[in-house]
Structure 1
Amino acid sequence: MRPRPQVVPSIVPPELLHLSLELREWPRICRAVPGVGVSASGRFRTMEGNGSIDMFSEVIENQFLQAAKLVESHLDSEIQKLDQIGEDELELLKEKRLAALRKAHQQKQEWLSKGHGEYREIASERDFFQEVKESEKVVCHFYRDTTFRCKILDRHLAILAKKHLETKFLKLNVEKAPFLCERLRIKVIPTLALLRDGKTQDYVVGFTDLGNTDDFNTETLEWRLGCSDVINYSGNLMEPPFQSQKKFGTNFTKLEKKTIQGKKYDSDSDDD
């Protein structure tokens, strides 16, 4: 089995790497030019003594040499910088890395202590206000037992709760929250309320934003939550995980930011 090619070190600047990759294509291009060939050593050669072709091949060969020297010079410079780093600087870098790891661990433990990392049901409106007060980012599913699409959301939200510890994922039975449903004018079940710092950022009403289908995947819901900045989304928000935008609805419910006790909003009135 042939060995796998080595990965170019990250210290090579992208512009140099791009240049070197472009130049690698020149032997293939030159083979297609009548009268031009490439020797086994990689040097350009011409047939029939064509002077213009000789000049062309010489220019290309010089470009190869210049690119190689430029990349080599940059690598030597970066290696020299690494060699000049003293023990004190290395120790400082190590301490910064350890401090970052400790901070990340403490943040994770804080989230877990507040109920992050699992998809939980809360029993009352009082619990809702307390949970929202404790956490910066909250996704709350307003559901009803008799609506089967709520169970579809349950499955996806349980997966995302474990993946996105930075966000608290909750569910609340609408029959136990008449005040909230009246205040937020929740008419379509299921509805997701997306909150940050105690304020509603957005709503996912039904499955309209998820493609108007029961068969949407978890990545689609994850992308939708990322669009409202209630999770740390690592993908490209400009490239939704849809295969066809014509098939999936992408017109989000546009709602102004408001506190939980703030203005009412209107949504679709069709129930499931």
Structure 2
Amino acid sequence: MATQSIDIVAKVLEQQVLQSARLVEQELDKELEKLDRIDEEELEKLKERRLEALKKSQKQKQEWLSKGHGEYREIPSERDFFSEVKESKNVVCHFYRDSTFRCKILDKHLSVLAKKHLETKFIKINVEKAPFLTERLRIKVIPTVAMVKDGKTKDYVVGFTDLGNTDEFTTEMLEWRLGCSDIINYSGNLLEPPVVGQNLGSKFTKLDKKTVRGKGYDSESDTDED
């Protein structure tokens, strides 16, 4: 009789243990399902955010293209210059002259950068067709590249001095120089120019904008004299 009672108690305890185990397992399953749902929701939210960002990026790209970004264009007159810089936040303008061969060197590099940096408008204007603008911006050396942000001229690249003082500078060097003026979205290291073993001077690490803006535009690259 005692043995039978013990067996009954043992079976009851076994059932209770199994029941407790089932309850614990059910709770764990619920928690896992909840975590799965959270992960799925987060993934959907992430997809939505990425899609929204892509749509916004495409919309911005189309807006830039509609304003003439993405190509290196010549503008015919001074009046066009003011309208061009008014409608775009970042503008790079090359002041050139047909008889100055170094302007053609700049043309080649600027054409490449215009396609790469859609966030910035790249234009050029013949100084002989823009005497008032050339005088107003104190353009004394050809070529000169003016960088205009929010309608205001912020910096200049005068001749090739800031590009290593050589006709053989690379597109990457010009890109870096424009990046130092925050006129393009530059992804490289602004503290060092993209060249090795060339004496470029201390200006490339400091680039004091006041000094660049206020200098007399002396340049060994070219002058405004034929």
For normalisation by structure 1, the TM-score amounts to 0.64
User: Is this contact kept in 2: 1:136–1:167, CA < 8 A?
Assistant: yes
2:89 — aligned with what?
136
The CA distance in 1 between the partners of 2:84 and 2:191, in whole Å, is: 32
1:183 — aligned with what?
136
2:194 — aligned with what?
241
1:211 — aligned with what?
164
2:150 — aligned with what?
197
Equivalent position amino acid for 1:221 in 2: L
Q: CA deviation at 1:93?
A: 1.2
Q: CA deviation at 1:89?
A: 2.1
**C-alpha spacing 1:235/1:127, structure 2 compared with 1 (3 Å):** same
1:161 — aligned with what?
114
For normalisation by structure 2, the TM-score amounts to 0.76
Equivalent position amino acid for 2:45 in 1: L
The answer as to 2:40 corresponding to 1:90 is: no
Q: CA deviation at 1:265?
A: 6.7
Equivalenced residue count is 185
User: Is this contact kept in 2: 1:211–1:250, CA < 8 A?
Assistant: no
- Once the two structures are superposed, the pairs formed by residues 249-264 of structure 1 within 5 Å of their partners are 249=201, 251=203, 254-256=208-210
1:230 — aligned with what?
183
The CA distance in 2 between the partners of 1:151 and 1:249, in whole Å, is: 25
The answer as to 2:125 corresponding to 1:172 is: yes
Equivalent position amino acid for 1:169 in 2: F
2:10 — aligned with what?
none
The CA distance in 2 between the partners of 1:169 and 1:143, in whole Å, is: 13
Q: CA deviation at 1:201?
A: 1.3
Equivalent position amino acid for 1:266 in 2: G
- Once the two structures are superposed, the pairs formed by residues 98-113 of structure 1 within 5 Å of their partners are 98-113=51-66
The answer as to 2:217 corresponding to 1:267 is: yes
Q: CA deviation at 1:256?
A: 4.0
The CA distance in 1 between the partners of 2:39 and 2:186, in whole Å, is: 38
Q: CA deviation at 1:264?
A: 8.3
1:123 — aligned with what?
76
The CA distance in 2 between the partners of 1:216 and 1:237, in whole Å, is: 17
User: Is this contact kept in 2: 1:124–1:172, CA < 8 A?
Assistant: yes
> Percent identical across equivalent pairs?
74
Structure 1 runs not aligned, ≥5 long: 1-81, 258-262
The CA distance in 2 between the partners of 1:264 and 1:208, in whole Å, is: 15
The CA distance in 2 between the partners of 1:96 and 1:224, in whole Å, is: 34
The CA distance in 1 between the partners of 2:105 and 2:39, in whole Å, is: 57
- Structure in which a larger fraction of residues adopt helix: 2
Q: What secondary structure is seen at the aligned counterpart in 2 of 1:86?
A: helix
CA RMSD of aligned residues (A): 2.2
The CA distance in 2 between the partners of 1:196 and 1:116, in whole Å, is: 15
Equivalent position amino acid for 1:232 in 2: N
Equivalent position amino acid for 2:86 in 1: K
Q: What secondary structure is seen at the aligned counterpart in 2 of 1:236?
A: coil
The CA distance in 1 between the partners of 2:162 and 2:180, in whole Å, is: 11
Q: What secondary structure is seen at the aligned counterpart in 2 of 1:98?
A: helix
Structure 2 runs not aligned, ≥5 long: 1-34
The CA distance in 1 between the partners of 2:69 and 2:38, in whole Å, is: 41
The CA distance in 1 between the partners of 2:201 and 2:163, in whole Å, is: 7
User: Is this contact kept in 2: 1:143–1:150, CA < 8 A?
Assistant: yes
Of structures 1 and 2, the one scoring higher in RCO (CA 8 A, sep 6+) is: 2
